[in-house]
Amino acid sequence: MTTNRFDGKVAIVTGAAGGIGEAYARALAAEGASVVIADLDEARGTATAAEIAAVGGGAATYVQVDVSDPDSTVAMADATVEAFGGIDLLVNNAAIYGTMQFDLLVSVDWDYYRKFMGVNMDGALLCTRACLPHMTARGRGAIVNQSSTAAWLYSGFYGLAKVGINGLTQQLAHELGGRGIRVNAIAPGPTDTEATRKQVGEGMVQSLVKDLAIKRPGTPADMVGACLFLLSDDAAWVTGQILAVDGGQIFRS
Ligand SMILES: NC(=O)c1ccc[n+]([C@@H]2O[C@H](COP(=O)([O-])OP(=O)(O)OC[C@H]3O[C@@H](n4cnc5c(N)ncnc54)[C@H](O)[C@@H]3O)[C@@H](O)[C@H]2O)c1
């Protein structure tokens, strides 16, 4: 059954040129939202926005952004308001992931580390700050941050950035609840995207999958229900939560 929970809403999904972010953007548009595909990758972002717009449902447009650059995030918010008249929903999904370099915290090149944290952690805060005046003007809003089960496993600076995303989610939920803005996060487990295939490789995916309660990798489609729930009024009294969508990779008590 298709519903239209997001009719008349305006959503920004960062990192939506492909992968999980693209699945979020497609699903939001299918339920009536006007969607901004906000990504560094202009070629893929433009193509994805055109494909979504061609399907029907809500409108879609591409806006280039570097989520680690404060001016760029403000320009993204302004372009969204110009295109669609306001901002209701923000999904902070962009990250350096498919092209990530592996190193230890004690030896990683410092400039690379700063850039990485600037995109993968600070990017969510910068995009939130840029969208905040527009959500405040509407008196409500919902934000979903893309975390990872890596926040709870040893996974170097990638996991450290996701620990930061979880902290941001909880802090911002407190700071923004009084303005009618909810902030939650999704923590995917190993999910089959082009970036994962490039980054992790088939052998590693198989070894991760054998330890999951549900013996298959996740797909972008597996993430969509949780994201749209957290963005919707069905989650009107849910904030500051980190929802694992991970095939039973992590059990927390
Ligand atoms: N795939 C997985 O197994 C998995 C698991 C847990 C969490 N995640 C998280 O889910 C999100 C999406 O993952 P994915 O597998 O779809 O990866 P992906 O590489 O396809 O998506 C990341 C997107 O972010 C964009 N991006 C990178 N740097 C940017 C910047 N500075 N500004 C704007 N956009 C930028 C990329 O162009 C890309 O489109 C990431 O936050 C990732 O950490 C993925």
Which residues, judged by CB distance below 6 Å to any ligand atom, belong to the binding site of ligand 1? 14-15, 17-21, 39-41, 65-68, 93-98, 119, 146, 148, 188, 190-191, 193, 195-196
Q: Is residue 151 part of a domain?
A: yes
Q: Is residue 101 part of a domain?
A: yes
- Give residue-wise pLDDT tens across range 1-60: 568 999 999 999 999 999 999 999 999 999 999 999 999 999 999 999 999 999 988 999
Active-site residue flag, 154:
no
Give how many domains the chain has, as a whole number. Answer: 1
- Give residue-wise pLDDT tens across range 134-177: 999 999 999 999 999 999 999 999 999 999 999 999 999 999 99
The CATH number covering residue 183 comes to: 3.40.50.720
Q: Is residue 253 part of a domain?
A: no
Is residue 115 a contact partner of residue 138, using CB atoms and an 8 Å limit? no
Please name the residue whose Cα sits nearest to atom 12 of ligand 1: 20
Q: Is residue 251 part of a domain?
A: no
Residues 103, 109: Cα–Cα separation, whole Å: 9
**Which ligand 1 atom sits nearest the alpha carbon of residue 194?**
20
Kindly tell me the number of DSSP H helices and DSSP E strands found in the chain: 9, 7
Q: Is residue 5 part of a domain?
A: no
For residue 55, report the distance from its CA to the centre of ligand 1, in Å.
Answer: 24
pLDDT above 80 for 186: yes
Using only C-alpha atoms, the chain has a radius of gyration, in whole angstroms, of 17
Q: Across residues 179-197, what is the average pLDDT?
A: 96
Q: Give the residue among 218, 208, 227, 225 at the shortest CA–CA distance from 247.
A: 218
Q: Give the residue among 126, 2, 100 at the shortest CA–CA distance from 58.
A: 2
At which residue do the structure tokens 């999704």 appear?
186
Q: Which domain holds residue 72?
A: 10-242
pTM of the predicted model as reported, rounded to 2 decimal places: 0.98
What's the pLDDT at 2? 65
pLDDT above 70 for 205: yes
- Half-sphere CA count of 198, side-chain side, radius 13 A: 10
Q: Is residue 248 part of a domain?
A: no
Residues 217, 160: Cα–Cα separation, whole Å: 23
Q: Is residue 33 part of a domain?
A: yes
Most ligand 1 atoms within 8 A of CB, residue of 97, 153, 202 to mutate:
97
For residue 178, report the distance from its CA to the centre of ligand 1, in Å.
Answer: 30
Cα dihedral: 66, 90, 23, 85 (round 10)? -90
- Give residue-wise pLDDT tens across range 62-94: 999 999 999 999 999 999 999 999 999 999 999
Which amino acid does the sequence have at 187?
A: A
**Which ligand 1 atom sits nearest the alpha carbon of residue 119?**
31
Residues 144, 230: Cα–Cα separation, whole Å: 7
Q: Is residue 2 part of a domain?
A: no
